[in-house]
Amino acid sequence: MHNDEMYASWPLKFVRGAGPRYRQIADFIAGAVADNRMQPGDRLPPQRGLAQHLGVDLTTVTRAYAEAGQRGLIEPRGPLGTFIARPTDEPLLQMLDLGMNMPPLPLGCDLQDLLRRGLAKAMERHDVGVMMTYHQAGGGPAEREAGAEWLAQSVGRVDPDRVLVCPGAQAALAAVMLAYSRPGDGIVAEPLVYPGLLTAAQQFGRRILVADTDADGMTPAGLERACRDGGRLVYLNPTLQNPTAHTMSVARRRDLLRAAAACGVRIIEDDPYSLFLQDAPPALASLAPASVFYIATLAKTLTPGLRTAFVLTPDLDGRRNVLAAMRSFAVMAAPLMGVLTTQWIASGMAQQILDGVRAEAHARQRLARQLLPGPFPSAAAGIHLWQTLPDRWTASDLERVARDEGLSVTSSEVFHQGPGAPNAIRISLGSIPDRQELGQALEHLAGLVRRRPRGLRDVIV
């Protein structure tokens, strides 16, 4: 393979917020192998040449190759170079997923049966040809009515005409950003933030402006300072925040709303988790309906397979503007999912699933708090935990070692903006279907957190 061909197979673009660059390089190799873009026996570029090609230092590539080697993806062959490893006859280590935030299967519900019944009822009421064609962007009247009914649990009674049906929360977030900011504008956020916001901001040429925080989250003074630096939107996830699971007080919510109004900026309230919290504080959108774009996804409370999120806009102009922006990349939400979601909400099936998911999530929270070392400053609710680590571990090292031992967790570096990420990991509780298997994974992780990393020695002073 000629050098130009060798480097042409590396169209890697680093994504801010997606983890350290060395790990992104190793992940690129893993993806290329999985997609058959790199075959066993293919020679990898020399480390120095690849570093120059990617615009990183040599140490980053060296560490990336070491990471890929530990995963069994590549093998060095001395002076011949480094090659994609050939598959072995040994079974692959099964990865137990404590990294992906998704709801557990609902307790006491047969989701497959509910899906079958929901689709059957939808087929009785809707012609297949109608379901399989283009539908009204943003949802038809029945879908928006169902969305308003669902949002009433967290926001109160709302006008369905202000509701927008989107193909997922990421699409909703992107549409609001496109409609209410321009390239170069700032999006004000906390230092620890949902990585999807970082990805969208980078793709659209927006800047993330990190506001000062204290123990209760973003401060009003921090919001105001960031707005003076060009902030046009404020992003908040105030209830069971991702990743820390912190819930912002009512007083702080009111103070931030006043600060945003004084700055003349709108707030995006991303609220995937409040339905897990008993007696959750009022949503920002219920305290200041004219100032907040409220996003509620069903991916975290029912199932990601619905690919449905509801956006409550401040007014009808807001709905039209966000809808116009969404049409630039997503013509509509999937009609079949819209019909199913509407059927589930109208029939009470969605509430039944939510109750089952909440019951299972509560049981998993209790289990995790029994097995993990803690401390856990947040309420025992939701589908994730924030685990601070002892000084002997760094978050990235624990993430790497855990993966080598068959556990997937998420380092604080994935969520953090700027230097000085807290030494912690996010632990997701919903991806492992079986609760007993989850318990075994948590016990394994707890033992890993408590032990000393290999290769470290006690310092004698």
Angle at 349 between CA 345 and CA 352, to 5 degrees: 115
Give 14's pLDDT tier (boundaries 50, 70, 90).
confident
What is the per-residue pLDDT for 6? Answer: 64
Asked whether residue 261 falls in the same domain as residue 317, the answer is yes
Residue 460 has pLDDT above 50, yes or no: no
Question: Which of 351, 382, 400 is at the close of a domain?
Answer: 351
Residue 217 has pLDDT above 70, yes or no: yes
In a domain, 38, yes or no: yes
What is the per-residue pLDDT for 456? Answer: 46
For 273-282, the pLDDT digits (tens) are 999 999 999 9
Question: Which of 296, 323, 351 is at the close of a domain?
Answer: 351
Give the CATH number for residue 442. 3.90.1150.10
Mean pLDDT of 288-308: 96
Q: Which residue has the higher pLDDT, 141 or 19?
A: 141
Give 93's pLDDT tier (boundaries 50, 70, 90).
low
Mean of the per-residue pLDDT values of the chain? 91
Asked whether residue 314 falls in the same domain as residue 437, the answer is no
For 312-343, the pLDDT digits (tens) are 999 999 999 999 999 999 888 888 899 999 99
What is the per-residue pLDDT for 2? Answer: 43
Other CB atoms closer than 10 Å to residue 417's CB: what's the count? 17
Residue 90 has pLDDT above 70, yes or no: no
Question: Which of 329, 351, 373 is at the close of a domain?
Answer: 351
Asked whether residue 30 falls in the same domain as residue 175, the answer is no
131 in Cβ contact with 339 (< 8 Å): yes
For 174-199, the pLDDT digits (tens) are 999 999 999 999 999 999 999 999 99
In a domain, 336, yes or no: yes
Domain carrying residue 143: 111-351
Residue 295 has pLDDT above 50, yes or no: yes
Asked whether residue 80 falls in the same domain as residue 217, the answer is no
Give 1's pLDDT tier (boundaries 50, 70, 90).
very low
In a domain, 436, yes or no: yes
Mean pLDDT of 65-81: 84
Burial of 183: CB neighbours in 10 Å, binned 0-12, 13-18, 19+: exposed
Asked whether residue 362 falls in the same domain as residue 434, the answer is yes
Asked whether residue 345 falls in the same domain as residue 380, the answer is no
In a domain, 457, yes or no: no
Mean pLDDT of 147-175: 97
Give 51's pLDDT tier (boundaries 50, 70, 90).
confident
Asked whether residue 435 falls in the same domain as residue 321, the answer is no
Asked whether residue 372 falls in the same domain as residue 285, the answer is no
Asked whether residue 347 falls in the same domain as residue 368, the answer is no
Phi–psi pair at 311, nearest 5 degrees? -115, 125
Instruction: Identify the CA nearest to 361 among candidates 380, 386, 348.
Output: 380
Asked whether residue 344 falls in the same domain as residue 427, the answer is no
Give the CATH number for residue 37. 1.10.10.10
In a domain, 461, yes or no: no
Give the CATH number for residue 121. 3.40.640.10
In a domain, 318, yes or no: yes
What is the per-residue pLDDT for 5? Answer: 60
For 405-443, the pLDDT digits (tens) are 899 999 999 999 878 899 999 999 999 999 999 999 999
What is the per-residue pLDDT for 240? Answer: 98
Asked whether residue 149 falls in the same domain as residue 298, the answer is yes
What is the per-residue pLDDT for 88? Answer: 63
Q: How far apart are CA 389 and CA 421, in angstroms?
A: 12
Q: How far apart are CA 447 and CA 60, in angstroms?
A: 30
In a domain, 460, yes or no: no
Angle at 217 between CA 414 and CA 235, to 5 degrees: 65
What is the per-residue pLDDT for 12? Answer: 84
For 397-410, the pLDDT digits (tens) are 999 899 888 999 99
- Residue 302's identity, in one-letter code, is L
In a domain, 455, yes or no: no
Asked whether residue 343 falls in the same domain as residue 416, the answer is no
pTM above 0.85, yes or no: no
Q: How far apart are CA 73 and CA 37, in angstroms?
A: 13
The domain total for the chain is 3
